Chain A
Amino acid sequence: MRSYKFNRLIPYLLVLPGVTWLTILFLVPLLGEVKTSLEEGSILWGISFTWHWQNYLEALTNFDTVFLRSFVYAALATLLTILIGYPLAYFIVFRGGKWKTLLLFPVIVPFLITYLVRTISIEALFADNGPILGWLKAWHLLPQGSFILGTPAAVVFALAYNFLPFAVLPIYVSLDRIDTTLLRAAEDLFAAPLRVFRKVVLPLSLPGVFAGTLLTFIPASGDFVNAMMLGAPQNQMIGNVIQDRYLVTLDYPLASATSLILMICLVICVAVYSRIFGTEELTG
């Protein structure tokens, strides 16, 4: 028989590899970022740690419009995904019947294509003479000089598209969990379908909506791929800035500061949002 002491250790042993990995490759790097954000200098002249808070100031002043723009784009994209995703999830759960799980396929399947190829296909869709604009122009429904690429609309649309499953799946789960007897009870108590939705379905699906909005908004605000491929320089998001500073200009301190500001903003957003909605369980 194993000793009692050993049994007590089992969960810790099981969890150890994961914890180690995550600590070294997630938590430690974040701390490293904090350190870097307070450094000063550049590759050329040498970098030193001097509690250089000016990095933050510089980041905020230089990129304030970009920060704002990123959050606006992310918010719009999130709104769009919810507007599209909720009815879709509702349809699958309540009209799906036997085909319920099968109907999830069309939602998941687009995301089996590489992120980039997906985004490029969207770029192709919205090309100046591509299938959509080309047709509209040929029928003279749009002036010849119209374009979507390079506008905020394109970036927001692409963001919404690329993060759709993150919104749909949590909403699907919370809608699916609703006991159908509750709906019958509401009907029994004189509620017509619209009222049943408003008073029973919607409130009970809110945890899913909450999770969905967070899982969409947060990654979207840090994204740069969509802005890079479909946007013009004036549509650049904060992710582009960070990427640029890190990989192109190699200005690590500034980039780190910018990263951390983004992180802090997101934490604040989530905290405020959670307060409004109450704490929900997001992980399985």
Chain B
Amino acid sequence: MSLSAETRPVPAAPYRDRNQPADPVIKLERVRKAYGNTVVLHELDLDVERGEFLTLLGPSGCGKTTTLKMIAGFETPSAGRILIDGIDVSASPPYSRPVNTVFQHYALFPHMTVFENVAFGPRTTGLNRDLTKERVTHALAMVNMSVHAAKKPGQLSGGQQQRVALARALVNYPKALLLDEPLSALDVNLRHTMQLELKRIQREVNTTFIFVTHDQEEAMTMSSRIAVMNEGYIEQLDTPEEIYLRPKTQFVANFVGRANLLPGQVKARNGGEVMVELDSGGFGPAAAPDAVMPGDRVLLMVRPGQIALLPADQGRLSAHGFAARLRTRDFQGTVFRYALTRSDGREVIATLLPQHQLAGVSIVDEVWITWDAPHAWVVPAGT
């Protein structure tokens, strides 16, 4: 899993606007959306930085697509404002907003050629012929579709259509590009390729990308920041690294990567670390956010890849952690996956590289689970 090296927003916008505000390019202020009695978005505040690759990540129904549609103009907020470059566009129709969308199923115009599809935006805004031709050619070249300019969408494969859809949006130099799960219709290998392609293109054109997906791996690969959403709220808005290593809520911890969450209570705090006594017995240290104090109920989070296994007797004497019984052990291609059962019946998953396997251990045997303090984290209970 590669982490984005860019955590700072990249400056530069393509327009000559002299008074380029340093403000967020898109700002959602206390945006709320309800359909009748059903509230889809609760009081959302979001600042999209210029030039970033922001992903809205969450399960179906969390509101991520609704948020995207509201930025594009296909939905209007029930309350709150949407600002693009400081201008309130909440009541503006989609055709008046300087943002463009890449739709989930591409929505290429079937009766127009690839060239005409991409030229649609420039022609609609009255750009002269020569300039249009120049820009369209450039856009097609950027997505490697120049050869197919005269074809119709029906003659293209899924991946090709997606690239045309991308060119069609980017040719207009939008202030932000909105992508609605554009890779979900592609097969796995093509997806991976396109993920990297999109990242490359985003850096090349220096445009803000707002990406919607439910696939957390995808989000981690491509984004400079991720907004993890759940049931109409943004649970955490951070870089992929922060979200994975230091989730703020139980939902985020569970949604991004597999997590072992062990309920317990904080016994002591020492600088950035706390000591947690686990409900099911045993104790162990973990890194913690500043707000967590001794006495707080927490969930100790250890990722499967951060667990080390020791023989039960040895562990009991020499390390923090707790005992568990081995239930299954499977080979997953690169790692061994251990499923272990704690004394209270809950399950712990550990993934170990072949060289770290515990010898001489079989099903139902007891082993000792331990970890390094910096690689564990606590999440406040009840989140």
Contacts and interface: CB of A to CB of B under 8 A. Distances in A.
- Contact, chains A and B (beta carbon distance below 8 A): yes
A186 B95 CA distance: 8
In terms of DSSP, what is the predominant structure of the interface of chain A? helix
A187 B94 contact: yes
Interface string B72-104: 111000000000000000000111100011010
Nearest to A187: B94
Contacts of A179: 107
A179 B104 CA distance: 13
A281 to B, nearest CB: 15
A7 B254 CA distance: 57
Contacts, number: 56
Contacts of B93: 187, 192
B111 interface: yes
B172 A184 contact: no
Given A189-B121, A190-B172, A184 B111 contact: no
B92 to A, nearest CB: 11
Interface string A172-215: 00000001011011111111100100011001100000000000
B125 interface: yes
A91 to B, nearest CB: 21
Given A188-B72, A189-B172, A190-B125, A182 B109 contact: yes
Contact of B124 (A182, A190, A204): A190
B111 A185 contact: no
B168 A184 contact: no
Interface of B: 72-74, 93-96, 100-101, 103, 105, 107-111, 120-121, 124-125, 168-169, 172
5 contacts: A179-B107, A184-B74, A185-B103, A187-B74, A189-B124
Interface string A207-245: 000000000000000000000000000000000000000
Q: How large is the interface on A (under 10, 10 to 19, 20 to 34, 35 or more residues)?
A: 10 to 19
Closest 9 CB pairs of A and B: A185-B107, A189-B121, A187-B94, A181-B107, A188-B101, A190-B124, A190-B95, A203-B111, A191-B124
Nearest to A189: B121
Contacts of A199: 120
Contacts of B100: 188-189
Nearest to B126: A190
B340 to A, nearest CB: 48
A192 B109 CA distance: 16
A135 to B, nearest CB: 44
Nearest to B98: A190
B292 to A, nearest CB: 45
Given A188-B101, A189-B95, 7 more contacts: A185-B101, A187-B73, A188-B72, A189-B100, A189-B120, A189-B121, A189-B169
Contacts of A188: 72-73, 94-95, 100-101, 169
Given A189-B100, A189-B124, A190-B125, A184 B94 contact: yes
Given A181-B103, A184-B94, A184-B103, A190 B121 contact: yes
A176 to B, nearest CB: 15
